[in-house]
């Protein structure tokens, strides 16, 4: 806005005392001060409001005005409440330095002037920024010359004081301001919390933007960056991006909300471009997967892998080890476990509502296998994911021997290029947001194979990963994973026990204890779990449960009396252990 516009606003009650020729100066902000030297807080273009408390003698005026002029302020408005009228020495000093001077009548508060200026300046900035965003959108649509989403995020921070970050559905940082600002970047735990809040809101149909007070006390406004044209939010919700703004959008005007929505549309262009960049890796993975599934000779599969290796593992050697990860996303899930075991899901081959599960699992697996804290070339550039039917299959290359890059490790998300993927940590950082995105009717299960050194082992690795996923599917929870290490355990057998056998076995052993707990609140089931976890040690179990050993002995005796079993016998301990695992 221009200084001239202030005089045309009668409600402000400003009176011009000097500088009529300078009224076309642009006002970029407002500051109230009574410091003798406020220069450190000035950046240029401000309308300075002062109550004149800094003036102790006439000579102070020239010094104060000289400081303001050097800082490049647009004008000075002096209140009349302190001295009754603006001193003549201040009028003379402003005329000498060509600084426009206004007087503020006593019954007009500085707060009223500040609110008016901020509102006008913000509106103009939003309009200017909207034009920049539109221009940048055209550049990004035409090609990468626009500079990516960071350019627009920098503009949001510098022109509207809105620090913002682009996050994935799991809370991974995709883009942010190029330089640190007054609001620090949210740490990984807060990013995951924000992603979970938005996913939950999208699944329940709550209107946006979502306003969230995070665990660190900061307030964020969340805007979805949608992908695809599906009318069902479940089609993309687990792979969409979001824009997190460090501000409360509750009282924003519609113009500013429209601007932020325009920013999300612009960033969606970048999202589509990055998705398209995965086409080659996806095609390579699909070709290899088809060869492995159809039982092609290992030499043919190895030849295809030699073509894929430079694309998936640039600069890290042409003979890597490989690991296989299998994922499945199911909607319409009503219980815990695989189809026919401890719960129900949509029929095999189609998820609830006809949503194809394979593409959803493919996009999600590509996201899960990215290092959440990667700042350079992302590890997703080395991962190829295909899908077949309702499951997605990832081929993860691991550099072998001396070709491995020193220090190239992403163990934060379970991926170590020396040791490979680990199922127990793979989902740890993303479990909370994905659970919110599933919203009670969806489920994700993953299985991870061991690393194999050549194409000869890929078929076995694929079957191993599929078996591990079935083990994960037999567990309770919305987001579950299992690794190859567990396939040498009794847990490999549990998913394949018929449902009626499982129910009969667990009921025979555990129902008497559950009934007794329900009537007497005796906590026999928790006591049994703790006793087995402590390998039958009376002292360790008593300490774990905060009980006297005699109380523990009484409870164990009651368990043996109700079930007719003896917890001193290995066979009975094993039966109880399996019953608890299957319940």
When pLDDT is averaged across residues 496-512 and rounded to a whole number, the result is 80
Asked whether the beta carbons of 193 and 215 are under 8 A apart, the reply is yes
Cα torsion 363, 368, 374, 379: sign: negative
- Rounded average pLDDT over 32-55: 88
Q: What is the pLDDT of residue 75?
A: 93
Write down which residue in 276, 306, 327 finishes a domain.
276
For residues 409 and 471, state if they share a domain: yes
Residue 524 has pLDDT above 90, yes or no: yes
Residues 478, 331 share a domain: yes
Instruction: Tell me the CA distances in angstroms from 355 to 169, 329, 351, 363, one per residue in order.
Output: 19, 10, 5, 14
241: phi then psi, degrees, rounded to nearest 5: -100, 170
CATH number for the domain including 205?
A: 3.30.450
The answer as to whether 117 is a domain residue is no
CATH number at residue 7: 3.40.1390.20
Q: Is 400 part of any domain?
A: yes
Residue 150: alpha-carbon gap to chain centroid = 17
Give the relative orientation of helices 188-204 and 431-438 as an angle to the nearest 10 degrees: 0
- Mean pLDDT computed over 563-578: 88
From the centroid of its chain, how far is CA 548? 46
Same domain assignment for residues 461 and 347: yes
Total structural domains in the chain? Answer: 4
Q: Quick check: 321 and 451 in contact, CB under 8 A?
A: yes
Q: Is the pTM of this model over 0.85?
A: no
Of the candidates 395, 88, 138, 120, the one whose C-alpha atom is nearest the C-alpha of residue 266 is 138
CA 458, CA 451: separation in Å to the nearest integer? 9
> CA–CA separation, 99 vs 101, rounded Å?
6
User: Structural domain of residue 334, as residue ranges?
Assistant: 279-495
What is the percent of the chain where pLDDT is above 90?
Answer: 22
Strand partners, 386: 393
Give domain status of residue 124, yes or no: no
- Residues 505 and 486 occupy one common structural domain: no
Helix (H) or strand (E) holding 206: none
Who wins on pLDDT, 432 or 226? Answer: 432
- Residue 125 confidence (pLDDT): 57
Which residue bears the tokens 């589509």? 272
- Considering the domain architecture, whether residues 547 and 562 belong to the same structural domain is answered as yes
Query: Within a 13 Å sphere around the CA of 501, how many CA atoms are in the beta-carbon half?
Result: 7
86 bridge partner residues: none
Residue 118 lies in a domain: no
Q: Considering the domain boundaries, does residue 529 fall inside one?
A: yes
- Residue from 81, 67, 74, 94 nearest 31 by CA: 74
- Nearest CA-CA partner of 474 in 578, 350, 325: 578
Span 272-287, pLDDT tens digits? 777 777 788 888 888 8
Mean pLDDT of the chain: 79
Instruction: Identify which of 413, 442, 369, 423 has the alpha carbon closest to the alpha carbon of residue 199.
Output: 442
Average pLDDT over residues 233-248: 85
297 and 416 housed in the same domain = yes
Are residues 252 and 227 located together in one domain of the fold?
yes
Q: What is the pLDDT of residues 127-155, one digit of tens each?
A: 555 555 555 554 444 444 445 678 778 87
Q: pLDDT at residue 373 above 80? A: no
* pLDDT of 415 higher than 50: no
**497 pLDDT more than 70:** no
Instruction: Say whether pLDDT at 553 is over 50.
Output: yes
pLDDT-derived band at 378 (thresholds 50, 70, 90) equals very low
Q: CA 204 from chain center: how many Å?
A: 18
**From the centroid of its chain, how far is CA 6?**
44
Q: For 50-88, what is each residue's pLDDT tens digit?
A: 989 898 899 999 999 999 999 999 999 998 876 678 999
pLDDT given at position 349: 40
What is the spatial distance between Cα 91 and Cα 18, in angstroms, rounded to a whole number? 7
Q: List strands edge to edge, sheet with 442-448.
A: 384-388, 391-398, 321-331, 442-448, 479-483
pLDDT score at 137: 52
Specify the pLDDT at position 112: 83
Q: Is residue 137 part of a domain?
A: no
The pLDDT of residue 526 is: 94
**pLDDT tens, residue by residue, 250-278:** 888 777 787 788 788 778 877 877 777 77
User: Does 441 share its domain with 511?
Assistant: no
């Amino acid at each position: 806005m221009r200084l001239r516009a202030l005089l045309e606003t009668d409600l402000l009650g400003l009176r011009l005392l000097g500088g009529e020729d300078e009224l076309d100066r642009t006002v970029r902000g407002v500051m109230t001060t009574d410091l003798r030297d406020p220069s450190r807080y000035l950046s240029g273009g401000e309308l300075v409001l002062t109550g004149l408390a800094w003036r102790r003698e006439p000579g102070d005026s020239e010094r104060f005005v000289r400081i303001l002029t050097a800082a490049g302020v647009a004008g000075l408005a002096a209140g009349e409440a302190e001295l009754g009228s603006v001193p003549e020495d201040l009028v003379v000093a402003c005329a000498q330095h060509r600084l426009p001077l206004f007087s503020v009548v006593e019954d007009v508060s500085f707060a009223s002037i500040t609110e008016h200026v901020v509102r006008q300046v913000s509106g103009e900035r939003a309009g200017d920024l909207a034009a920049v965003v539109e221009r940048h959108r055209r550049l990004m649509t035409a090609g990468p010359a626009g500079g990516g989403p960071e350019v627009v995020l920098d503009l949001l921070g510098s022109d509207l004081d809105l620090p913002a970050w682009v996050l994935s559905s799991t809370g991974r940082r995709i883009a942010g301001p190029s330089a640190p600002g007054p609001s620090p970047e949210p740490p990984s735990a807060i990013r995951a919390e924000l992603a979970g809040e938005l996913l939950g809101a999208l699944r329940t149909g709550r209107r946006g933007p979502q306003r969230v007070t995070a665990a660190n006390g900061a307030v964020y406004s969340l805007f979805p960056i949608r992908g695809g044209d599906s009318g069902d939010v479940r089609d993309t919700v687990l792979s969409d991006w979001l824009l997190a703004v460090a501000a409360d959008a509750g009282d924003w005007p519609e113009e500013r909300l429209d601007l932020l929505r325009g920013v999300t549309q612009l960033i969606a262009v970048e999202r589509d471009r990055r998705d398209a960049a995965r086409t080659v890796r996806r095609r390579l993975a699909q070709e290899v997967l088809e060869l492995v599934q159809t039982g092609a000779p290992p030499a043919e599969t190895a030849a295809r892998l030699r073509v894929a290796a430079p694309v998936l593992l640039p600069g890290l050697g042409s003979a890597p080890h490989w690991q296989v990860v299998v994922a499945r996303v199911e909607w319409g899930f009503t219980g815990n476990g695989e189809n026919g075991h401890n719960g129900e899901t949509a029929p095999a081959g189609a998820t609830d509502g006809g949503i194809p599960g394979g593409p959803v699992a493919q996009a999600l697996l590509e996201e899960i296998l990215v290092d959440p804290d990667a700042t350079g070339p992302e590890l997703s550039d080395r991962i190829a994911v295909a899908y077949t039917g309702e499951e997605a299959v990832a081929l993860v290359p691991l550099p072998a021997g001396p070709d491995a890059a020193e220090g190239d490790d992403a163990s934060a998300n379970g991926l170590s290029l020396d040791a490979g993927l680990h199922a127990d940590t793979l989902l740890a950082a993303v479990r909370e947001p994905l659970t919110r995105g599933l919203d009670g009717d969806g489920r994700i299960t993953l299985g991870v194979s061991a690393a194999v050194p050549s194409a000869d082992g890929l078929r076995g690795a694929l079957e191993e990963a599929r078996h591990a996923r079935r083990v994960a599917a037999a567990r309770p929870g919305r987001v579950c994973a299992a690794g190859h290490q567990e396939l040498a355990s009794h847990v490999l057998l549990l998913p394949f026990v018929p449902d009626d056998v499982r129910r009969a076995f667990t009921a025979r052993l555990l129902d008497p204890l559950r009934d007794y707990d329900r009537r007497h609140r005796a906590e026999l089931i928790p006591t049994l779990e703790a006793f087995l976890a402590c390998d039958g040690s009376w002292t360790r179990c008593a300490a774990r449960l905060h009980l006297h050993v005699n109380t523990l002995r009484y409870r164990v005796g009651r368990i043996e009396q109700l079930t007719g079993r003896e917890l001193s016998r290995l066979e009975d301990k094993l039966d109880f252990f399996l019953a608890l695992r299957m319940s």
